[in-house]
Chains A and B, each alone.
Chain A
Amino acid sequence: MTNIPTEPALAVTGLRRSYGSQVVLDGIDLHVGEGTIFSLLGPNGAGKTTMVQILSTLIRADAGEARICGHDVVRDPDRVRAAIGVTGQFSAVDNFLTGEENLLLMADLHHLGRAEGRRRTADLLERFDLGRAAKQLGVTYSGGMRRRLDLAMGLIGDPRVIFLDEPTTGLDPRSRRDMWQIVRDLATRGVTVFLTTQYLEEADQLADRIALLDHGRLVAQGTPAELKRRVPGGHVELRFADDRALAAAAAILHVAPDPADESLVLRVPGDGGVRSLRALLDWLDAAAIEVDGLAVHTPDLDDVFFAVTGSEKVTA
Chain B
Amino acid sequence: MMTLAVRDSTTMLRRQLRHMSRNLSTMLMLLAVPIIFLLLFVYVLGSTLGDGLGGGSGGRGAYVNYVTPGILLITMAGAVQATAIAVAMDMTEGIIARFRTMAIARVSVLTGHVWGSVLQTLCQLAVVLGVALLVGFRPQATAIEWLAAVGVLTATTFALVWLAVAMGLATKSVEAASNLPMLLLLLPFFGSGFVPTDSLPVGLRWFAEYQPFTPIMETLRGLLLGTPIGTSAALALGWCAVIALAGYGWAKRLYNRDRTR
Chain B facing A: main interface SS: helix
Contact between chains at B101 and A94 (CB < 8 Å): no
What are 29 inter-chain pairs, A to B, with CB distance below 8 A? A50-B260, A56-B101, A58-B100, A58-B101, A59-B259, A60-B258, A78-B103, A79-B103, A84-B101, A86-B98, A88-B97, A88-B98, A91-B94, A92-B93, A92-B94, A92-B95, A92-B97, A92-B98, A93-B94, A96-B22, A97-B15, A105-B14, A108-B14, A109-B8, A109-B99, A109-B102, A110-B102, A153-B98, A154-B98
Q: How far is the CA of A89 from the CA of B8 in the complex (A)?
A: 26
Contact between chains at B98 and A19 (CB < 8 Å): no
Q: Mark A82-124, 1 if CB is under 8 A from B, else 0.
A: 1010101011111111000100010011110000000000000
Contacts of B95 in A (CB 8 A): 92-94
A binding-site residues for B, Cβ under 8 Å: 19, 50, 53, 56-60, 78-79, 81-82, 84, 86, 88, 90-97, 101, 105, 108-111, 137, 153-154, 157
Of A59, A84, A90, A101, the contact of B18 (CB 8 Å cutoff):
A101
Contact between chains at B260 and A53 (CB < 8 Å): yes
Contacts of A153 in B (CB 8 A): 98
Contact between chains at A109 and B11 (CB < 8 Å): yes
Contacts of B23 in A (CB 8 A): 96
Contacts of A105 in B (CB 8 A): 11, 14-15
Contact between chains at B101 and A109 (CB < 8 Å): no
**Does residue B7 face the partner (Cβ distance < 8 Å to A)?**
yes
Contact between chains at B98 and A81 (CB < 8 Å): no
Contact between chains at A81 and B94 (CB < 8 Å): no
Q: Mark B36-65, 1 if CB is under 8 A from A, else 0.
A: 000000000000000000000000000000
Excluding A88-B97, A110-B102, 4 further A-B contacts by CB distance (< 8 Å) are A91-B94, A109-B8, A111-B7, A153-B98
Q: How far is the CA of A79 from the CA of B101 in the complex (A)?
A: 11
Q: How far is the CA of A82 from the CA of B4 in the complex (A)?
A: 14
Contacts of B4 in A (CB 8 A): 111
Chain A nearest CB, measured from B85 CB (Å): 14
Contact between chains at B260 and A19 (CB < 8 Å): yes
Q: How far is the CA of A97 from the CA of B14 in the complex (A)?
A: 11
Chain A nearest CB, measured from B151 CB (Å): 31
Q: How far is the CA of A60 from the CA of B104 in the complex (A)?
A: 18
Contacts of A88 in B (CB 8 A): 94, 97-98
Chain B nearest CB, measured from A207 CB (Å): 22
Contacts of B102 in A (CB 8 A): 81, 109-110, 157
Q: Contacts A19-B260, A97-B18 given: A109-B104 contact, CB under 8 Å?
A: yes
Contacts of A57 in B (CB 8 A): 100-101
Q: Mark B1-45, 1 if CB is under 8 A from A, else 0.
A: 000100110010011001100110000000000000000000000
Q: How far is the CA of A60 from the CA of B94 in the complex (A)?
A: 19
B binding-site residues for A, Cβ under 8 Å: 4, 7-8, 11, 14-15, 18-19, 22-23, 93-95, 97-104, 258-260
Q: How far is the CA of A58 from the CA of B202 in the complex (A)?
A: 52
Q: How far is the CA of A95 from the CA of B23 in the complex (A)?
A: 12
Q: How far is the CA of A88 from the CA of B261 in the complex (A)?
A: 12
Contact between chains at A81 and B101 (CB < 8 Å): yes
Contacts of B103 in A (CB 8 A): 78-79, 81-82
Q: How far is the CA of A95 from the CA of B14 in the complex (A)?
A: 15
A78's closest neighbor in chain B, by CB?
B103
Contact between chains at B93 and A94 (CB < 8 Å): yes
A24's closest neighbor in chain B, by CB?
B260
Q: How far is the CA of A220 from the CA of B176 in the complex (A)?
A: 45
Contact between chains at A95 and B93 (CB < 8 Å): yes
B100's closest neighbor in chain A, by CB?
A58
Contacts of B99 in A (CB 8 A): 109
Q: How far is the CA of A226 from the CA of B220 in the complex (A)?
A: 77
Q: How far is the CA of A56 from the CA of B104 in the complex (A)?
A: 14
Q: How far is the CA of A92 from the CA of B260 in the complex (A)?
A: 15
Chain A nearest CB, measured from B10 CB (Å): 8
Q: How far is the CA of A3 from the CA of B8 in the complex (A)?
A: 28
Contacts of A96 in B (CB 8 A): 18-19, 22-23
Chain B nearest CB, measured from A85 CB (Å): 8
A98's closest neighbor in chain B, by CB?
B18
Q: How far is the CA of A57 from the CA of B259 in the complex (A)?
A: 11
Contacts of B19 in A (CB 8 A): 96-97
Contact between chains at A137 and B22 (CB < 8 Å): yes
Contacts of B100 in A (CB 8 A): 57-58
Q: How far is the CA of A56 from the CA of B98 in the complex (A)?
A: 9
Contacts of B22 in A (CB 8 A): 96, 137
